[in-house]
Structure 1
Amino acid sequence: MRGSAQEIVDAMTADPYGLTSPSVYETARMVASASWLAGHQQRVEFLLAEQHEDGTWGGPAAYGLLPTLSAVDALLSVAGPYDTRRVARAVESGMAALARRSRRNVQLPDTIAVELLVPWLVEQINQRLTRMDGRDGMPGRLSLQADTGTLSRIRELLRTHSGIPEKTWHSLEALGTPAVRSPAVIPTSGSVGASPAATTAWLGDPPHAYAATSCLDYLHRTQARHGGPVSGITSITYFEQAWVVTALCGSGLDVEIPAQVPDSLRSALRTNGLPAGPGLPADSDDTAAALHALALLGKPESVDCLWEYDTGSHFVCFPNERTPSTSTNAHILVALADRHGQGDPRCDLAVERVGGWLTEQQHPAGHWTDKWHASPYYATACGAAAVSRLDGPQASAALDNAVRWVLSTQRADGSWGQWAGTGEETAYALQILNHRAVPDRPAIDAILGGRAFLSHHIGTDSDDPPLWHDKDLYTPVRVIRAEILATLAATRHLTEAQN
């Protein structure tokens, strides 16, 4: 395992962007708006191949709505040397799936900018259908209700040059004509919001001026990473570094973290922290994870950059966010707890305060949920790691409740998962169980079963499904691999004790 873990670190160090899975939503946006970009035919083929039997695209349940809207809109735009019958069948099946969904009251998942992207794509599809005027058997309109209030307000801000929140740049494609070369939006190293779709929206239609060369270079480089399809978020440099370091350090794996990694994190820190990667706004989640990673590497930095996110009861991830994040507050608690005993009463008081807030967010069954991940196993692993840093009966009870929930939800094959057993979620479940200093027999048996599943999972080099929230679900590939290997290493002592 040490060799595999070191390979992850070496690949991460050599990659300036981080590795994420391709996105149906984002790839469809490039099909619709950037047919001039290399890889267009491969992107069309990717969409056709990714459609499910029920006509949808993307994740399970409500997670399929936005990718399906995006794919249908993109395929409605396709013209050229393609199997037109195959494209038409995909559109027809996708429209039927959307029609079935429109008859149900489905709560949208809390993915990035969903309140902008869903009404925009409904609008886009209906405009295309109107222009088609019922040809090829297409309906005249998609009957899907979506609130356009927030979208209209953000569009008006951009139209009047009032400026829009930096976090909105990542979803600039929803804002229409005012987004094209908007002076209120500033590309970073050629990308707008680390998003191919947002960058294309800012560029506008060809021909592109010489000044846009860096954006064109970014788009060509981005589509080449997956051979045409693109990721929804193309820069997770600091996120990947912080999470991989945190997973591997202290797990029992003897890995060498090159000085380049802590140097990268330290150089990215500003007075308001750091972002997930270049071109994205700073946030308290990645900042807290980076601070904890640096502390583990023996290179601690000041936590003062976190205080501007403090609301008095908990910490926000971004200013003016819709919903608070349990995993963000768990990471902040851990980063502040690293300073325990260093004579900073502000940190100690915040740890106690955030710990109380976190335990209040725990569901009665014993798990947590979060806005950055589809699975409760991720949020619960973060929550358990945080409350395990605390003393007192409230924290102990929260950890016990989390352990009971994990034990009650293990699958027959030893795995855990929201929709099916996965390596990622199984690793999180084992991490929760491993917080018990002296596991009882049921916990030991569950850990052994989970380890057997994980060993088979990595032995067959199986992929993990997208579970992380961006505009649609994605996988931070190296982060998940590191979590799995680190979990196997951290629980190895239990296996050895049984032999």
Structure 2
Amino acid sequence: MQFVPIKVDIARPLAAGVDIVAATRELLAGLARQPWGQVSPSIYETGRLVTLAPWLIGHAERLRYLLDSQRPDGGWGAPGGYALVPTLSATEALLATLRGIAAGRQPAVGRADLASAADRGLRVLHRWLRADRLSIPDTPAVDLIIPALVASINQQLDEVRESPLTGLDAWRGEARLGIPKRMDSSHLDRIRQALIAGARAPEKLLHAWEVAGNPPHGATGIHPASPGTVGASPAATAAWLGGTGLVGSSHSVHQALAYLETVARQLGGPVPCAVPITVFERGWVLSGLARAGVPLAPPPELVSSLAVAIGPAGTPAGPGLPADADTTSVALHALVQLGTTLAPESLWGYEMTPYFCTWPGEDGISVTTNAHVLDAFGAYLTTVPDVAGRYQAAVVQLSAWLVEQQLASGEWGDRWHASPYYATACCVLALDQFGCGPSASASVARAIEWVLATQRSDGSWGRWTGTVEETAYAMHILLAPAGLTERRHIAAAAIRGYTYLQETAGRQDDPPLWHDKDLYCPSAIVRAATLAALHLAQSRPDLMTSRA
């Protein structure tokens, strides 16, 4: 696919009483029109761009975004441990900006506001890290990002002691940030030493290349992928450009600069963690809509782009990222549902027995990746039953493994999403449709009971507060399993959830719940999940009659 610099608009929210067919048509047109993806801005990534590329268009807007998104307590981001990475990034960026102003490299616009925000960020970080009460979530590269940012902030505080900055007088002493317990800098130190020695950079490191320090340029063999991105990350790309010294007129440098400028224009300054996310976005949208039975006629290029993307190792979520079993499985599942069946041979490269890894060398295990592999294998067997053998054995194995991962309370958790409702929906849908034996059915029933027990008084569901996205996943859990919705208490909960979606969709922002270097919201995917949930409810005349 050819990527062109375009203005990318976040998908417009759903209106109450939405026409699902028309909204689906609009959503699919948006996928074709905006091939880089529709993703919310990232505090972490925006902070890194403030530090690494103050020369890039939109710098003032990025600083304003950081100031405006600071919480009253001085932190940034979501509750609990999810706040640590964005707060470290934003605070470090503000300190770097203040040093640039003091050195005359940047205009002194809003210096007092920047100093005040930096001071409040330092105070809350000092309190969090001393108390060590934060449970650090399993987000990508967190064991590298936290030590790197803590070291950078402490280095800047050392400079404050030597060259004081107005508004940061409290930090002229010995106070410094520590690294959370159960975490150290050894992994980061080993990586940096290996890169300095000339080792080739691991592919999965590229998405967080900004943590690499300053290895000799050219020693790591890194080249931007089309459309000019390193690791599908603005921060990683800016860090790579910094290593080039912006010297010369190489095609790669020009591509990377054009990529950064395009991304910076998309959201008016702030930037997302990952872009482009073409295959990821298209796969999740098309698979989710088709599975729910939403009438859709996707533009042929959307379907063909998924088929073309799948190679011997599968497909990455977007250019610059490594291929992974999760995106590959969802793309394959979408294709089968849309009438294009490809053999899922590429997924065998991720088999670990009894589960599948997201990519080779993954630190951790994902239940949603394995649920999606079960979807891909199950759908393939349904379409091409003569190939049973190894595929059928994997379906049995994955069914049993997913059941074993279910928590005693009935839900699943996962490393790619902050909400258990997403993980539980992925597992329930896969087990209900392709799971084997009574244990799969019993597992689905336990998950439904958990959903019923956690519905909020307003009809919503959510980890921290009720949200449209999480309510949509809960509706999928209640409505997708065959033959269960007839139970009166399930139908009553589904009606309350449907009413909440009808009254709320489009009237509240979708909070970032998806894991990257910090949390993000893939708005087109969330919109598709919401449309699918509404369609599932509207396809049940008994529910609509009861609601009336």
* TM-superposed deviation, 1:391: 3.6
* TM-superposed deviation, 1:258: 1.1
* TM-superposed deviation, 1:403: 0.3
Structure 1 residue 496 corresponds to structure 2 residue 496: no
Structure 1 residue 142 corresponds to structure 2 residue 142: no
Indicate the residue corresponding to 2:460 in structure 1: 415
CA distance in 2, matches of 1:179, 1:245: 43
Q: Is the 8 A contact 1:273 1:284 kept in 2?
A: yes
Indicate the residue corresponding to 1:204 in structure 2: 242
Of residues 343-352 and 175-184 in structure 1, the stretch that sits farther from structure 2 once superposed is 175-184
Which of 112, 118, 140 is the equivalent residue of 1:91?
118
Q: Is the 8 A contact 2:537 2:544 kept in 1?
A: no
Q: Which amino acid aligns with 1:149?
A: S
Q: Is the 8 A contact 1:274 1:282 kept in 2?
A: yes
Indicate the residue corresponding to 1:128 in structure 2: 156
* TM-superposed deviation, 1:17: 1.0
Q: Is the 8 A contact 2:336 2:380 kept in 1?
A: no
Specify whether residues 250 and 381 from structure 1 end up closer, same or farther in structure 2 by C-alpha distance, changes over 3 A only. closer
Indicate the residue corresponding to 1:219 in structure 2: 260
Indicate the residue corresponding to 1:442 in structure 2: 489
CA deviations 1:278-323 (Å, max 9, x no partner) are 1111000000000000000110111110001001210000111111
Partner secondary structure for residue 187 of structure 1: coil
Structure 1 residue 452 corresponds to structure 2 residue 499: yes
Matched residues, number? 498
CA distance in 1, matches of 2:291, 2:426: 16
CA deviations 1:458-478 (Å, max 9, x no partner) are 253x32100000000000010
Indicate the residue corresponding to 2:197 in structure 1: 160
Partner secondary structure for residue 480 of structure 1: helix
Structure 1 residue 192 corresponds to structure 2 residue 230: yes
Structure 2: state its 5+ residue gaps: 1-19, 102-106
Q: Is the 8 A contact 1:309 1:319 kept in 2?
A: yes
* TM-superposed deviation, 1:342: 3.0
CA distance in 2, matches of 1:497, 1:222: 47
Which of 2, 13, 21 is the equivalent residue of 1:2?
21
Q: Which amino acid aligns with 2:424?
A: T
Q: Is the 8 A contact 1:172 1:179 kept in 2?
A: no
Please, what TM-score do these two structures have when normalized by structure 1?
0.97
1:57-68 to structure 2, matched below 5 A, reads 57-68=76-87
Indicate the residue corresponding to 1:175 in structure 2: 212
Seq. identity, %? 42
Indicate the residue corresponding to 2:531 in structure 1: 485
1:288-299 to structure 2, matched below 5 A, reads 288-299=329-340
Q: Is the 8 A contact 2:229 2:319 kept in 1?
A: no
CA deviations 1:438-472 (Å, max 9, x no partner) are 32111111101111111112253x32100000000
Of residues 437-446 and 288-297 in structure 1, the stretch that sits farther from structure 2 once superposed is 437-446
CA distance in 2, matches of 1:207, 1:123: 25
* TM-superposed deviation, 1:344: 2.4
Q: Which amino acid aligns with 2:517?
A: K
1:22-61 to structure 2, matched below 5 A, reads 22-61=41-80
Partner secondary structure for residue 220 of structure 1: helix
CA distance in 2, matches of 1:269, 1:444: 40
Indicate the residue corresponding to 2:273 in structure 1: 232
Q: Which amino acid aligns with 2:169?
A: G
Partner secondary structure for residue 194 of structure 2: helix
Specify whether residues 319 and 138 from structure 1 end up closer, same or farther in structure 2 by C-alpha distance, changes over 3 A only. farther
1:279-294 to structure 2, matched below 5 A, reads 279-294=320-335
Indicate the residue corresponding to 1:372 in structure 2: 416
Q: Is the 8 A contact 1:196 1:222 kept in 2?
A: yes
Q: Is the 8 A contact 1:179 1:201 kept in 2?
A: no
Q: Is the 8 A contact 1:173 1:179 kept in 2?
A: no
Specify whether residues 459 and 83 from structure 1 end up closer, same or farther in structure 2 by C-alpha distance, changes over 3 A only. closer
Q: Is the 8 A contact 2:395 2:436 kept in 1?
A: no
Please, what TM-score do these two structures have when normalized by structure 2?
0.89
CA distance in 2, matches of 1:40, 1:100: 29
Q: Is the 8 A contact 1:47 1:71 kept in 2?
A: yes
* TM-superposed deviation, 1:142: 2.5
Specify whether residues 495 and 43 from structure 1 end up closer, same or farther in structure 2 by C-alpha distance, changes over 3 A only. same
Q: Is the 8 A contact 1:130 1:141 kept in 2?
A: no
Of residues 219-228 and 84-93 in structure 1, the stretch that sits farther from structure 2 once superposed is 84-93
* TM-superposed deviation, 1:396: 1.1
Q: Is the 8 A contact 1:451 1:488 kept in 2?
A: yes
CA distance in 1, matches of 2:148, 2:114: 22
Q: Which amino acid aligns with 2:280?
A: F
CA distance in 2, matches of 1:118, 1:208: 30
Structure 1 residue 405 corresponds to structure 2 residue 434: no
Q: Which amino acid aligns with 1:356?
A: A
CA distance in 2, matches of 1:385, 1:248: 13
Of residues 243-252 and 64-73 in structure 1, the stretch that sits farther from structure 2 once superposed is 243-252
CA deviations 1:335-368 (Å, max 9, x no partner) are 1011223332101000110111111110000000
CA distance in 1, matches of 2:484, 2:545: 12
Indicate the residue corresponding to 2:427 in structure 1: 383
CA distance in 1, matches of 2:157, 2:503: 48
CA deviations 1:211-257 (Å, max 9, x no partner) are 11111000000000001111110111001011010111143432211
Partner secondary structure for residue 241 of structure 1: helix
Q: Is the 8 A contact 2:366 2:415 kept in 1?
A: yes
Indicate the residue corresponding to 1:344 in structure 2: 388
Of residues 283-292 and 173-182 in structure 1, the stretch that sits farther from structure 2 once superposed is 173-182
Which of 456, 464, 467 is the equivalent residue of 2:513?
467
* TM-superposed deviation, 1:182: 4.6
Indicate the residue corresponding to 2:94 in structure 1: 75
CA distance in 1, matches of 2:175, 2:532: 51
Specify whether residues 419 and 331 from structure 1 end up closer, same or farther in structure 2 by C-alpha distance, changes over 3 A only. same
Q: Is the 8 A contact 1:158 1:184 kept in 2?
A: no
Of residues 172-181 and 146-155 in structure 1, the stretch that sits farther from structure 2 once superposed is 172-181
CA deviations 1:264-288 (Å, max 9, x no partner) are 1111111110000111110000000
* TM-superposed deviation, 1:479: 0.3
CA distance in 1, matches of 2:515, 2:311: 25
Specify whether residues 180 and 71 from structure 1 end up closer, same or farther in structure 2 by C-alpha distance, changes over 3 A only. farther
Q: Which amino acid aligns with 1:85?
A: A
Structure 1 residue 103 corresponds to structure 2 residue 130: yes
CA distance in 2, matches of 1:153, 1:295: 44
* TM-superposed deviation, 1:81: 2.9
CA distance in 2, matches of 1:309, 1:131: 47
Partner secondary structure for residue 387 of structure 2: coil
Structure 1 residue 424 corresponds to structure 2 residue 469: yes
Indicate the residue corresponding to 2:39 in structure 1: 20
Q: Is the 8 A contact 2:231 2:321 kept in 1?
A: yes
* TM-superposed deviation, 1:179: 6.4
CA distance in 2, matches of 1:123, 1:96: 16
Q: Which amino acid aligns with 1:144?
A: G
